[in-house]
Copies of this chain bind each other. A is one copy, B any other.
């Protein structure tokens, strides 16, 4: 098969230009005589790759100088433990439950802190966002955690909550794994943001943490050294050997983002792609997306066939057209199209064409 359109939720589609460059440089990076995979993380070649990646990401996401960028390991799931070990000091923390990922985070934090639910959209099947005005945040809260894009339920915060306006001084922790770099971030509202790289940034196995520097240095005694933000930051993410090749690939993605207009241009593309797909679903008698229009994700679009007996036929037809990995997460069923930065408009158009064609054959 030639290159397909790959709608996987993650690991996910990569920019083809990035893959081409990685292939071309695999045996000899910039005349060094080495693959990036073979470089000492402390050598000048890799340090230059690392510093360029960090600097490009800081520029792209407009990360203020008082935030530190850490490249870690373990994914968002490990951060569910690492964040409370670093920030909770064993006190109370508040979670807003908007889907599977915030639920998992809230549960894991209970190992280290008094893990409370400030609000939950579970009663409506995670199809809406509880209004910040309704959140019950304790006065003793060490932080408030949200998942700003729920990969499984397809729910996105289109504006980050302003905790200060709610009378809350606690920092906001944001799991932005599945929409990082798809839109700008209002850092004035954020204390810490984290995300696995395998959706919008690069290969699985790299975890991005961006943390306000005054929150660093509070780790609990049983926090593993490799995951203590202070040690990671003091050692430029090289307290343990970092996932060097994954950082290199992410760096190529950052350069691709810059070349194609940066985050503002990417956001406009993502709005157009999402609009095209949601319009198709909304104008159909066969497909349905159940999420409140005010908080539909631009990245992850779950949908259902009203006749679920047609699911296998739908997926088989899609695969035959090179439209891959459209099966929904096992916990919710149905279908899901993840349309990250690297998914071109042509891919979404091909999916929309197929959606219409398949619906006609069912009439």
Complex CA gap A13/B34 in Å reads 8
Complex CA gap A322/B37 in Å reads 17
Give which listed residue, B19, B37, B78, B325, contacts A226 with CB less than 8 A.
B78
Complex CA gap A23/B24 in Å reads 7
| Interface check A191, CB cutoff 8 A | no
Q: Which of A292-328 contact B (CB under 8 A)?
A: 322, 324-325
8 new A-B pairs (CB below 8 Å) besides A11-B245, A198-B244? A3-B33, A6-B34, A19-B37, A75-B241, A80-B225, A111-B221, A112-B222, A205-B206
Q: Which of A46-89 contact B (CB under 8 A)?
A: 73-78, 80-82, 85
Complex CA gap A239/B111 in Å reads 17
| Interface check A127, CB cutoff 8 A | no
Give which listed residue, B8, B20, B77, B246, contacts A243 with CB less than 8 A.
B246
Given A75-B73, A111-B222, A243-B205, A4–B33 Cβ distance below 8 Å?
Answer: yes
| Interface check A251, CB cutoff 8 A | no
Complex CA gap A350/B320 in Å reads 53
| Interface check A349, CB cutoff 8 A | no
How many residues of chain A have a CB within 8 Å of chain B? 70
Q: Are B33 and A1 in contact (CB under 8 A)?
A: yes
Contacts of A40 in B (CB 8 A): 8-11, 325
Complex CA gap A77/B202 in Å reads 23
> How many monomers of this chain does the complex have?
2
- Can you show 17 pairs from A to B with CB atoms below 8 A apart? A1-B32, A6-B38, A8-B43, A11-B241, A19-B27, A73-B78, A73-B205, A74-B78, A75-B241, A78-B227, A78-B240, A82-B224, A111-B224, A196-B241, A204-B242, A205-B243, A205-B245
Q: Are A325 and B43 in contact (CB under 8 A)?
A: yes
Majority DSSP secondary structure for residues of A touching B:
loop
Closest partner residue, chain B, to A7 (CB atom) = B40
| Interface check A283, CB cutoff 8 A | no
Min Cβ gap A290→B in Å is 23
Contacts of A41 in B (CB 8 A): 11, 204
Q: Are B39 and A19 in contact (CB under 8 A)?
A: no
Contacts of A208 in B (CB 8 A): none
Given A13-B38, A81-B224, A244-B203, A6–B26 Cβ distance below 8 Å?
Answer: no
Min Cβ gap A8→B in Å is 4
